[in-house]
Amino acid sequence: MTISKGDRLPSTTFTTMTANGPEQVASDDYFAGRTVALFSVPGAFTPTCSARHLPGFIDKAEELKAKGVDEIACTAVNDAFVLGAWSQSAGADNKVTMLADGNGDFAKAVGLTMDGSKFGMGPRGQRFSMIVKDGVVSELNVEAPGDFNVSSADYMLRQL
């Protein structure tokens, strides 16, 4: 079942890349007590994700924070090493936190998976965004396959 507005995020574990290497992050702890603008991309270094999705959140980081967002986070079914390299190459450090969902556990738990096999990518998370307040989804924006509209930073800014 797909997560909906008003639902609490399921308990899962992400991995982030730190100066000390990969570190586990419990979703319950990460989202507790704050407002997080979370967006999901099908894959790091893929065309739309690299040219439009991530750059939009980097460019609009200050505007999102001015509207009450405590943290901006990106998740993808990629490992922490790939997301760490993508963050560095895109200039996302200190603006967008990368939450690696290497096995797709989060994407499965929220019911937002896709099959990227025809592109050689296997199971992935769909393109979506959500505003999460203290672990509860207050806004959810899921893209139609191949689209990039409602999961953008600009769209999210209009929701805040």
49 catalytically annotated: yes
Selecting among 17, 38, 44, 49, the annotated active-site residue is 49
SS (H, E, C) the chain: CCCCCCCECCCCEEEEEECCEEEEEEHHHHHCCCEEEEEECCCCCCHHHHHHHHHHHHHCHHHHHHCCCCEEEEEECCCHHHHHHHHHHHCCCCCCEEEECCCCHHHHHCCCEEECHHHCCCEEECCEEEEEECCEEEEEEECCCCCCCCCCHHHHHHHC
Which of the residues are catalytic? 49
